[in-house]
């Protein structure tokens, strides 16, 4: 994968397949500590301890359409290649949390990429799940919550073309403001 936003999308799509009703995505950059942290949490069906031990193996997958699962191993490799760390926790019936950290200035850290595009793609995939994005850089923070959007829309389909275009522009604009000129 060429950007971390694609890793986020892949992990969050796992949450959708796990029948999550709420997916939380946290992206936090701390320029003073030189760290970028990404977390994807869900309240889906979770994984057994046995499967959790193998989940970073590309040949361990629950999918029946293919025999390999590259998303989690690639996310782990991306973090570790940029002097970061990776962790995944899960409990059956409770959900899963995937966390990765990266040295923000590391030459091998992939760019964060199109978070807004990831969010609208995920909205299209997660018809029955709500999504909360918390995006922060230093002390500045932006929170996007599909539950708020759905309340405002009052029955209008969140996946209509006009709404998706508007949401992408809104998320992009807010992330640009939070970045304060930084390219994350």
Strand arrangement, sheet containing 140-145: 85-91, 95-103, 35-42, 22-30, 130-137, 140-145
pLDDT tens figures, 58-85:
665 554 444 445 789 999 999 999 999 9
| Number of neighbours of residue 118 by Cβ within 10 angstroms | 25
Note the pLDDT of residue 60.
54
Contacts of 139 (CB under 8 A, 6+ apart): none
The answer to whether the beta carbons of residues 129 and 122 sit under 8 Å apart is no
Note the pLDDT of residue 68.
44
- Which residues of the chain are under the pLDDT cut of 50? 63-68
* Statement: the pTM of the whole predicted model exceeds 0.85: yes
Angle at alpha carbon of residue 49, lines to 8 and 119, rounded to 5° = 15
Note the pLDDT of residue 127.
84
Note the pLDDT of residue 175.
98
């Amino acid at each position: 994968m060429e950007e971390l936003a694609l890793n986020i999308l892949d992990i969050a799509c796992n949450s959708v397949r796990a029948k999550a009703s709420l997916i939380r995505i946290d992206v936090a950059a701390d320029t003073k500590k030189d760290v970028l942290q990404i977390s994807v949490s869900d309240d889906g069906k979770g994984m057994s301890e046995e499967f959790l031990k193998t989940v970073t193996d590309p040949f361990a997958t629950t999918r029946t359409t293919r025999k390999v699962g590259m998303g989690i191993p690639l996310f782990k490799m991306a973090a570790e290649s940029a002097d970061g760390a990776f962790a995944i926790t899960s409990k059956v019936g409770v959900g899963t949390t995937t966390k990765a950290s990266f040295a923000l200035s590391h030459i091998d850290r992939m760019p964060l990429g199109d978070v807004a595009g990831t969010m609208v793609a995920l909205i299209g995939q997660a018809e029955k799940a709500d999504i909360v994005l918390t995006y922060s850089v230093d002390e500045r923070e932006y929170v996007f919550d599909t539950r708020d959007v759905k309340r405002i829309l009052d029955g209008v389909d969140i996946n209509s073309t006009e709404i998706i275009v508007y949401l992408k522009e809104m998320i992009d604009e807010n992330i640009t403001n939070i970045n304060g000129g930084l390219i994350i």
